[in-house]
Structure 1
Amino acid sequence: MSKDYFEDVPPELILVLAPSLSTASLNALGQTCDRLYKMLQPELESRITPELAQDLLVWAAPSKPHIIAKLLAPPHSVPPNPPGVWKSPLHIAAEAGNLETTRLLLEAGADPAADWE
């Protein structure tokens, strides 16, 4: 069993430091252990802007259907055909063979005939 290197850090200290960290640093810190992930997840969620959500939709399309489902649902409600992408999340998911993500995007109204920009 691996040691949780942050098990002795008071949760209050982590939550006080969280707002001063960049989103990337906060995410990296959250990935270090389950305890931190659970504490920091609300802060990370609050930082998802509409623009970041669209970028995350494209990033998650090949292999992360749980993130796709979260982004398509409220409060984010990202449109399944984000504007300004060179390849739609639907096409990316289909090329990757990710049937679950493809289904989620189609159910959310993704247009298979949408042109790439």
Structure 2
Amino acid sequence: MKMFMLKFFCIVALMFISVLAGMQLANDGIHKMKGYDDPNFQNAVAINDNGQQVKATFLGNEISSHDLDEKKKKLEEISAFNVFSSMGKKISEGVSHASETLINLITE
């Protein structure tokens, strides 16, 4: 069992390193394919911290904490109803109740 776990973690680490290396090679390939350094070439995600405020850009669109607060308020106002969420809650409550009664029957 110890050898299996050791092999498993080694393979997972190797895959993780391979993914990171592949991402770096792809980035280098994109820069080589352009043939020149373009200052307008944007990263997919950029985070700028100037000490007081953190600004993030995602695919060229700026995201601030104010935008997130507005979206959160809008979602709270809508109070959207998710059928799957309510079904999941009911199922989990039913399974919890059933397991409690089963445990009580077994222990008594």
Normalised by the size of structure 2, how large is the TM-score?
0.22
Ranked by relative contact order (alpha carbons within 8 Å, sequence separation 6 or more), the top structure is 1
Larger fraction in strand:
2
Q: Which has the larger radius of gyration?
A: 2
TM-score (norm 1): 0.21
